[in-house]
Amino acid sequence: MKRRLAAVFILLCALSLPHAALGDGGRLRSRSVAGPFVVTLFTTPDPLRAGMADFSVAVERPADQNPAQGLVQDADIELKLTSPGQPERNLKLTHDAATSRFLSAANFELPHSGRWHYTLTIREHGDTGVSEGDVDVLPREVLAEEITWEIVAIPLALVLFVLHRWRKRKWRASTRRPLAHS
């Protein structure tokens, strides 16, 4: 019985928290040559939705054969996001905001869904590269992000209460001994 209860609890936790698991950068969105650089863009969450988002970038020099030596660590990286009818968003990507020391990232709020155009500008020691593309942003998923635990917590508490009462009643019945009549 305890194993079943533990399995149900683990399953409920796994189903209600998939958005909490973050990898090293997120989903690969693009990999392109930008001047003397190779730029790889990752986004989180997956799928990308309105709300908090993470844009992470890895910058490499393609001439280097060793990937660890080819990574560019000290570049200035700017991200410009535009969407029709909305003000332009300009962000600076930093190593401090990234989940890996090989990435530069920016964490920010995407205000609405739709198609967003991004422009990444990379500058290092006089070299400049530009990478552009589009990402589709889905609407917010209010149920999964904001009220999942409220929905799961009440039925889980009720199930635990009923199991506790049932086990307690079963235990009491097994410990009662019939009184001997003399």
pLDDT of residue 80: 96
Terminal CA-to-CA distance of the chain, rounded, Å? 40
d(CA 58, CA 25): 9
Q: What b/e string do you get for 59-72 counting C-beta neighbours within 10 Å, with b at 16 or more?
A: bbeeeeeeeeeebb
d(CA 159, CA 35): 60
d(CA 166, CA 150): 25
Q: Is 114 exposed, middle or buried (0-12, 13-18, 19+ CB in 10 A)?
A: middle
pLDDT of residue 11: 58
What is the pLDDT tens value at each position of the chain, 182 positions in all? 667 656 666 655 555 444 443 445 688 999 999 999 999 999 998 889 898 999 999 999 876 555 556 778 888 999 999 998 888 999 999 988 888 888 999 998 999 899 999 999 999 989 999 999 999 999 987 665 566 667 777 888 888 999 999 998 888 888 876 666 65
